[in-house]
Amino acid sequence: MVTVQSRNGPIRNSVLPNHMSDLANFIGLESRYYLKERQFHGTLVQDEEADHIFRESKQWESLLNLTPKQVAEELTKVDSEIFCSIDSSEYIADLWRNPNHLTKENLQRFEGIPNNEMYWVVTTVVSETKADLRAKIIKQYIKIAKWCRELKNYNTMFHIISGLNHGLVQRLRSTWERVPHKHKRAMEDLVGYMNPFHNMDNKYRELQRATHTSFIPLCHIIKKDLTFLFDGNETRVDGLVNFEKLRMLSQQIRNIRKFCENPIMPEPPEIDLGQLGVLKSIHHSIRLRSRHPTALATLTENALKKVYSHHRMTKMVRKHLGKKHVILEEDLLEKIADSTDKIVQLRKNPPSPLNRGKRISGTKEKFRKSGSSIVGPPISPSPTTGSFGSDTGVPIDLPGDSSPPITPRRKLSLPNTPPSAVPAEDGTASPPVS
């Protein structure tokens, strides 16, 4: 067996050792497995196929190429592992404001999820300059949030919706106009779980009270409830320890910990394999369902394709989430959003330099034909050319495009009238010229 790697460069072939196991997890997105005889030394992959493999290996970079369900499953898996790793003593250390951060390391990791997930949504949306793609990204996030609700990961669902409700995202009106009403209604339904009034006494509280299985609660609601009990009751009453306060805190922490009894783990795809048993080595990654044994041949091929597609998509999702770009600075995000708005406005009203150039060149051509002069409009009839009331117009020579136009000097004498005394520069009147 040979693995072929096709990156942005030469194609590399590597012979796998005979003792190699767990081949599904060993192979990368840019690699393929091939079976060949040892005597064969030809090319396994042509350049065209290598380019196709290389392009496929880059699909993880775009959120639109990922399956919303598997993105939600991977986010839920990571959040569940962090949430279930929080020990009860970490909640106590946080309430008593223990300065030792090592005593609440997992709790701090869980507290870092909200900003990371919310600003991930904001960064992805505002960084896209095309309104159509931004609308598709918003639809993708709404689908991911819906799957998080199905998986009972209300923590991630809330942060994704918070990112979509961020001011920098909501002001993109041209983008929201392209989002279908079906997805807008779905988003409004998700927002209904997060009504902050009356201490979140809404659908979320009802689900939290009715749930006795795996559940990822909202991080800020956990801390809010514990802080309310801690600050709302005195630790000592009349010099004695208030054990009632401690009992309420311990009961609240037990209620939180009960959601970790069964960590949320995404279920693998269900495969129809009947009793064939051909995929015993990967039974841990599929669920079997019995079927009539007549269609086993076709069934096996389809099952293998389904397992391969699911496993490959999981790798793409993990790589995308592991390398996702998140900007936490509001000022920087606002600058990106402003530049995006400018690009959108330019696309809506593109300048037409060619048309403006034609008009300018046409005007200059008229100037050349008229002897490089601008003809002024007629004002009133007068026999004298170049004086006030000229009917024939005053020609003005153009010295060039770079210098301003020259305005003609106005004559102070009127035609057919005797010249009068004109004051000199020193203030005395000069006699008329005879």
136, two tokens? 């598709």
**Sequence-distant (≥ 6) Cβ neighbours of residue 45 within 8 angstroms:** 4, 6, 11, 32, 34, 53
| CA distance linking residue 123 with residue 117, whole number of Å | 10
**In Å, how far are 84, 220, 223 from 110, measured between CA atoms?**
10, 10, 11
pLDDT under 70: residue ranges of the chain: 1-50, 52-54, 101-102, 196-202, 266-301, 344-434
> Considering all CA atoms of the chain, what is the largest pairwise distance in Å, rounded to the nearest integer?
131
| Percent of the chain as helix, strand, coil, to the nearest 5 | 55, 10, 40
Considering the domain 62-265, what is its CATH architecture? Answer: Orthogonal Bundle (1.10)
Domain boundaries, the chain: 2-57, 62-265
Write out pLDDT tens, residues 155-201.
999 999 999 999 999 999 889 999 999 999 999 999 888 776 656 65
**Mean pLDDT (the chain, rounded):** 73
Q: What is the dihedral of CA 390, 391, 395, 396, to 10 degrees?
A: 60
Neighbours of 332 (CB within 10 A): 11
Neighbours of 36 (CB within 10 A): 13
DSSP class of residue 306?
H
Closest CA to 215 of 146, 144, 150: 150
328, two tokens? 């936490």
- Strand 287-289 versus strand 270-272 pairing type: parallel
Read out DSSP for 32-66? EEE---TT--S-SS-HHHHHHHHHHHTGGGSGGGS
Write out pLDDT tens, residues 111-140.
999 999 999 999 999 999 899 999 999 999
- Strand 31-34 versus strand 373-374 pairing type: unpaired
Closest CA to 390 of 378, 374, 402: 378
| CA distance linking residue 207 with residue 259, whole number of Å | 12
Q: 185 with 177: CB under 8 angstroms?
A: no
Q: Treating both helix axes as pointing N-terminal to C-terminal, what angle do 131-150 and 181-191 enclose, rounded to 10 degrees?
A: 40
| CA distance linking residue 150 with residue 144, whole number of Å | 10
Q: 122 with 110: CB under 8 angstroms?
A: no
Write out pLDDT tens, residues 378-416.
433 333 344 333 344 444 444 444 444 545 555 444 445
Can you give the pTM of this predicted structure? 0.68
What's the confidence (pLDDT) of residue 39?
Answer: 66
